[in-house]
Amino acid sequence: MASLPVRIVWLVAPLFGLGMLLGQLFPLGLRRLSEAEMPWAWALNGSASVLGSIIAVVIAMQVGFAAVLWVAVGFYALAAVSAFKL
């Protein structure tokens, strides 16, 4: 078994890369919006963040963390498809 620092790096490295990639989607989407649509985007993002965290905990407790990750993959795929349709 690897030491604790090695395991931490092994965990943080892929999560950092994935987080950087997924963290760019909202700013890129904001660039496509008009001034009138901007407050709605921020409201939707805030609401989805709060509700998403609550729903993720409920799903994790009922089904497991793997299910939470697959649901997240599905929602990101849906967002990607929606972005390309616009």
Query: pLDDT per residue over 55-71, tens digit each?
Result: 999 999 999 999 999 99
Predicted confidence at residue 84, as pLDDT, reads 79
Instruction: Please tell me the distance from the alpha carbon of residue 29 to that of residue 26, in angstroms, as a whole number.
Output: 5
Question: How many independent structural domains does the chain possess?
Answer: 1
Predicted confidence at residue 29, as pLDDT, reads 84
| Mean pLDDT (10-residue bins), the chain, 86 residues | 90 89 84 92 94 95 95 89 78
Mean pLDDT, rounded, of the chain: 90
Predicted confidence at residue 1, as pLDDT, reads 78
Predicted confidence at residue 57, as pLDDT, reads 97
Write out the residue range of the structural domain in which residue 51 sits: 4-85
Q: What share of the chain is helix, strand, coil (3-state, %, to 5)?
A: 85, 0, 15
